[in-house]
Structure 1
Amino acid sequence: MIKKTLKIMLNFFKKKPLKYTFHDDFWIQKVKTITVVDRVPFFEELVKGKKILHLGCNDWPIFNPVYNLHIKLAKYADIIHGFDIDLEGVEELRKYVNQPYFSHFDQLKGNQYDICLVPETIEHVDNVREFLEGLSTVEAKIFYITAPNCFSKNHIERNFYGQDEFIEVNHPDHNCWYSPYTLKNQIEKYSNLKVKNVFLMNEDRMVCCEAVKKNL
């Protein structure tokens, strides 16, 4: 009898999440999302024949030419410029993609791009507001900004409580986690960008916001 009752309760809670019972609408943020199975072919298709600015192009501190996204995208883009503050790493990357690289936003004046791609970079920066204000100065038709999704089942399940400690599997240079709502919220709060679409990529492990300038 007890097992049967527990089974009924579990089925009920699966159909009707408790969060909507315990929280007023003020606390509930709903974000429509689009699923992308694999980010790499998605980005490769986006950049075909386009002029691209790629921020965080070096993958510091784990640069590997086999997996580096900048090297992959260079095979499809018409022109691709890199942006990274790791100047030593950029020189290594230049051996594989010999096109212009930048490390400060003011160096980009006069350049115009079809796409500004910012993959898995925002969670590394020291000052998010300053970074997004700098990103606002980039002349691009469209922006794609991604970050790890804190609510991904994969990310949640690999973190746990130890004996008087919390064990978190995370990149040691990450300064924060993002969710579909918080990434969209910060972009629109601290930049002149308006988010058009939100994607969940690679089994929901990544959030990607597609955005354009608000005055367009």
Structure 2
Amino acid sequence: MKIKNLINFFRSKWQSDYLKHGQFWIQNIETNSIANRFDFFEQITQNKKVLHFGCTDWPIFNPSYNLHIKLSKSAEEIHGFDIDEEGINNLKKYVNQKYFTDFNQIRDEKYDICLVPETIEHVDNVKSFLIGLSSVNADVFFITAPNCFSKEHIKRNFYGNNYFIEVVHPDHNCWYSPYTLKNQIEKYSNLKVLKIYLLEGDKMVCCEAVKK
């Protein structure tokens, strides 16, 4: 009975803290948990024609860990999109399929899946990128980004009175949350988010979207 009362106490306290901000500030996002994002990507791309953004994994390319190489073994066909032309030339040694560096190059292509994993946080202009993504002819889009509210991401940062140490990829331009990733996708593209996943526990946010 004491344990039950304690649980009810903390639940009540959490709800009061939650509600004190007012409904305007509260964004309720339903999520699905996926343990291993590589397994998830393999599952959704199995026997599909796939367009993979950020395929070169610059600047930490490793052929034993590269997602594009891994998915090429399960997808029916996989094309890569990246602005890293040097990286593309290197990746061609492992996956000899089509690669693109500009949205205009893919106008005549049709895909089952457009996969955009851990790419959006690197781009210089998110609005322009999402407008370009809207031009891709694909049945479904999976767009992922690191989750700023991940327990692991939060606990590995350190700060004091006059400093902040942030453990983050040096090429990242922003952090995303389940709400902000969904919000930007729907604000700047013609895509509608159907589901939101938390990958690798809660380290990554993944939005599944289709064209409106």
Task: Please tell me the TM-score bracket, short chain as reference.
Answer: over 0.9
How far, CA to CA, are the matches of 1:60 and 1:201 in structure 2?
21
Q: Which residue of 2 aligns with 1:107?
A: 105
Question: Is the aligned partner of 1:43 residue 2:44?
Answer: no
Distance 1:16 1:91 in 2: 56
Q: 2:82 aligns with which of 77, 81, 84?
A: 84
Normalising to structure 2: TM-score of the pair?
Answer: 0.94
**Cα offset for 1:95?**
0.5
Please give the alpha-carbon distance, in whole angstroms, between the structure 2 residues aligned to 1:38 and 1:136: 27
Displacement after TM superposition at 1:69 (Å): 0.4
- Give deviations 1:11-37, integer Å, cap 9, x for gaps: 834553253242000000010000000
Moved more, 92-101 or 16-25: 16-25
Which deviations, in whole Å up to 9, do the C-alpha atoms of 1:168-198 show, x marking residues without a partner?
Answer: 0000000000000000000000000000000
Does 1:16 find its partner at 2:7? no
Counterpart secondary structure, 2:40? helix
1:44-76 CA deviation, whole Å, 9 max, x = no partner? 111111100000001111010011000000000
Match of 2:134 among 107, 123, 136: 136
The residue matched to 2:197 in structure 1 has which SS?
A: strand
1:122 and 2:120 matched: yes
2:123 & 2:12 partners in 1: Cα distance? 39
1:20-39 alignment runs, 5 A limit:
20-39=18-37
Q: Taking every aligned residue pair, what percent have the same amino acid on both sides?
A: 66
- Which of these residues, 42, 57, 60, is aligned with residue 58 of structure 2? 60
Q: Distance in 2 between matches of 1:147 and 1:72?
A: 19
Aligned to 1:4: none
- What is the aligned length? 207
**SS state at 1:133 partner:** helix
Secondary structure at the aligned position of 1:121 is classed as: coil
Match of 2:188 among 178, 187, 190: 190
Query: Among 191, 202, 205, which residue is 2:203 paired with?
Result: 205
Cα displacement (A) at 1:118:
0.0
Alignment RMSD: 1.5
Q: How many angstroms does 1:10 deviate by?
A: 9.6
Give the structure-1-normalised TM-score. 0.92
Unaligned runs of 5+ in 1: 1-7
> Alpha-carbon deviations, 1:70-103, whole Å to 9, x = none?
0000000010000000000111111000101000
* Separation in structure 1 between the aligned mates of residue 62 and residue 211 of structure 2, nearest angstrom: 33
